[in-house]
Amino acid sequence: MKIEKDAAVTLHYHLTDSDGGVIDTSQGKDPMAYLHGHNNLVPGVERVLDGQSAGIKLDVEVSPEDGYGMRDPDLDIEVPLEAFPEDAREGLVAGAMFQGPHPTDESRPAMYTVIESTDEFVRCTANHPLAGVTLHFNLEVMDVRTATEEELTHGHIHGPGGHQH
């Protein structure tokens, strides 16, 4: 079976940045299962996998535009330290994440990553941590099958490598 919209795909992946630093991997773990054609992978990977079959091994370079997008400076903000509850301030260290109102659309939430914290402010970003990064994927498709009606309704794969009930 070929990978196409609504296919249940199981694959092993190894993801690195341009310097070879490992970002994520399924090596030594169960393969990842996903529902193809439902925006469950970055667009550049899903596009390359379209039409492939089980057993294929691919090395894929994904530009930021086809991955997590370019960094948007409008999503980098400074928040006065006093805006945070006093008991939460100690945890506002570089790399910490928290949810707050979106910087350009306050009607929806955004996840922020702390860049820097001082005695007066917290500099943070709502950009995805991989925004602006060229991604290097090593992929091996293990299995391709037709998704069940329940999986299609839920928008994700159930069972090994997917969502468990």
Rounded-to-integer distance, Cα 37 and Cα 67, Å: 15
Domain limits of the chain?
7-68+131-154, 73-125
Q: Identify the H or E element spanning 154.
A: helix 149-154
pTM of the model: 0.82
User: For every one of its 165 residues, what pLDDT tens digit does the chain have, with 9 covering 90 and above?
Assistant: 999 999 999 999 999 999 999 999 999 999 999 999 999 999 999 999 999 999 999 999 999 999 999 999 999 999 999 999 999 999 999 999 999 998 888 899 999 999 999 999 999 999 999 999 999 999 999 999 999 999 999 888 886 655 543
CATH number of 7-68+131-154: 3.10.50.40
Q: Which residues pair with 141 in a beta bridge?
A: 11
**Max Cα separation, the chain?**
58
Asked if residue 64 lies in contact with residue 44, where contact means CB atoms within 8 angstroms, the answer is no
Nearest to 140 by CA among 55, 60, 62: 55
CA distances from 154 to 6, 88, 113, 158 (A): 12, 35, 29, 9
